[in-house]
Amino acid sequence: MIDIHNHLLPGIDDGPRDMDGTLAMARVAVDEGITRMVCTPHLLPGAVPEPARIAALVDETRAALAEADIPLRIDTGAEIALDVAFALDDAALRAYSLAGNGTWLLLEMPFEGWPLGLPAFLGDLEMRGFRAVLAHPERARSVQLQPDRVRDLVGRGALCQVTAEAFTGAFGKIVAQTARGLMGNGLAHVLASDAHSATRRPPGLRAALDECAGRAGVEPETLRWMVTDGPRAILDGGDVRPPRLGVPPPRERVAPPRPAKGGPKPGRPPRPGRPPRPRQTSR
């Protein structure tokens, strides 16, 4: 499985403080069946680490993983707050793209308030050759209140990354309901951990996959696109065409029984307890 959103790198944001914490997270991830993680430290107004610093930390972490014999591939990336993304030029956005592919960006949905500039910004990004994955829309208050707003963003080419623990209830009932609603309406495309430590928000995807599958009444294998081929296609930097995930198949239509010859015409049966209306006769 591939995790495109997490805070694995040491000492750069609110993820692990040191390399020991990073390695502990990596071990949990590998035990979970994760083989590749894109490191996405926060880019927040006033706290924007240089791409070179992220790249150096990824190199350092790769060396530590190899030394500790932990089979985990890691790449550069960033979780970009919208206010930061609005101000970055093309070269900077490319440097912060997922796995350095130069195309796909992970944009953080704000927790409060609907980002009025986002729909136009998605169009602007497309004109500039970028595409966006929206991080955890289910945790945005505006989406919780009006989930249909996400349709417009997806219609403009964005993909939605839902956080695994949202489905297991770790963020509360409203977030869980919103995540399930996005999933049921085909508006959740990728599952990621958004992990911050080995214990507090650990890097796991399996429980969420099982939870989603159980609710949708399908095998977890059906939803694996969200943690395998989907993330891989994003990291490859090309077009991504998500299958219709999470939407139950249309109900089989059953033809009503044919009435017997000379019997009453098909239609709604009279309500119980109410006599059928007398037929109107012509004058």
Q: Which residues bind Fe ion (CB under 5 A)?
A: 79, 194
8-state DSSP, 98: G
3-state secondary structure of 132: strand
Which of 195, 205, 139 is closest to 14 using CA atoms? 195
Tell me whether residue 110 or residue 186 sits nearer to Fe ion (CB atom).
110
Which of 54, 134, 60, 64 is closest to 95 using CA atoms? 54
Q: Going by C-beta distance under 8 Å and a sequence separation of 6 or more, which residues neighbour residue 21?
A: 10, 15, 197, 198
Tell me whether residue 79 or residue 165 sits nearer to Fe ion (CB atom).
79
Quick one: tokens of 240? 């991504």
Tell me, what amino acid is at 277? R
Shortest Cβ contact with Fe ion: which residue? 194
Q: How far is the CB of 5 from Fe ion (least distance, A)?
A: 6
Tell me whether residue 17 or residue 215 sits nearer to Fe ion (CB atom).
17
Tell me whether residue 216 or residue 231 sits nearer to Fe ion (CB atom).
231
3-state secondary structure of 262: coil
Q: Going by C-beta distance under 8 Å and a sequence separation of 6 or more, which residues neighbour residue 177?
A: 144
* Interior/surface letters 235-259, b for 16+ CB within 10 angstroms, e for the rest: bebeebebeebbeeeeeeeeeeeee
Tell me whether residue 13 or residue 211 sits nearer to Fe ion (CB atom).
13
Quick one: tokens of 105? 């960006």
Could you give the CA distance from residue 142 to residue 144 in angstroms, rounded to a whole number?
Answer: 5
8-state DSSP, 6: B
Quick one: tokens of 101? 């592919």
Q: How far is the CB of 66 from Fe ion (least distance, A)?
A: 25
Q: How far is the CB of 194 from Fe ion (least distance, A)?
A: 4
Q: How far is the CB of 7 from Fe ion (least distance, A)?
A: 6
Tell me whether residue 4 or residue 235 sits nearer to Fe ion (CB atom).
4
Q: How far is the CB of 54 from Fe ion (least distance, A)?
A: 14
Which of 126, 177, 188 is closest to 151 using CA atoms? 188
Q: How far is the CB of 1 from Fe ion (least distance, A)?
A: 18
Tell me whether residue 42 or residue 180 sits nearer to Fe ion (CB atom).
42
Q: How far is the CB of 79 from Fe ion (least distance, A)?
A: 5
